[in-house]
Amino acid sequence: MATVIQPALQPAYPVRTERLLLRPLTGADVDALLAYRSLPEVCRYVPFEPMTRDVVTERLATQWANPGLTDEGQALTLGFAIARTGQLIGDVILFWRSRSHRGGEIGYVVHPDFGARGYATEAAKALLGLGFDHLGLHRIVARIDERNEASARVARRLGMRQEARLVRSELFKGEWITELDFAMLADEWPAYRDAGRGDSR
């Protein structure tokens, strides 16, 4: 039987994984967010510039304040923290792109001090679970600057399929970039969820 899309996504927080806790961001997270979102190397391949305290504070009060999804066009941003310490080390985002086509998109960013340990993959996998298992999405994509090799590796570890390489397709931060498009379908997701693929190893 086909999954029927739910009217809304209101997760029970925190969302727990093997090593992480995913939760909505709060005003207490300003310093932790600044620790990585202010770094030029973190922002190089993603659609935001290095952030100031004022920008982070404004985002926390607006775009990042939504703890769930009620309709297409919205986005859910969750911080992910190391479960044993509570330290916030990154964040993930789930866009609800289309209700009629049951489409979504994910993105992820992690503090560079905690890179190459599988944390972004673990957090993004939990986000796929929210999109497929709880919201009933049919298809979730990830769009990545080809130069962002670490992000592309995460998509592949998640089991997402590279469907396109769009050569110099977008003018981004003053230069033409090549975009890699990855995707996963709802009927492909259980094999990765249940087999434990896409984890930190």
pLDDT at 33: 98
H/E element holding 152? helix 149-157
Task: Record the tokens describing residue 89, joined without a space.
Answer: 């080390």
Give the contacts of 113 (CB within 8 A, at least 6 positions apart).
Answer: 89
Looking at domain 15-195, its CATH class is alpha beta
Per-residue pLDDT tens digits of the chain, which is 201 residues long: 455 556 789 999 999 999 999 999 999 999 999 999 999 999 999 999 999 999 999 999 999 999 999 999 999 999 999 999 999 999 999 999 999 999 999 999 999 999 999 999 999 999 999 999 999 999 999 999 999 999 999 999 999 999 999 999 999 999 999 999 999 999 999 999 987 544 443
Q: What is the pLDDT of residue 199?
A: 45
Domain spans, the chain: 15-195
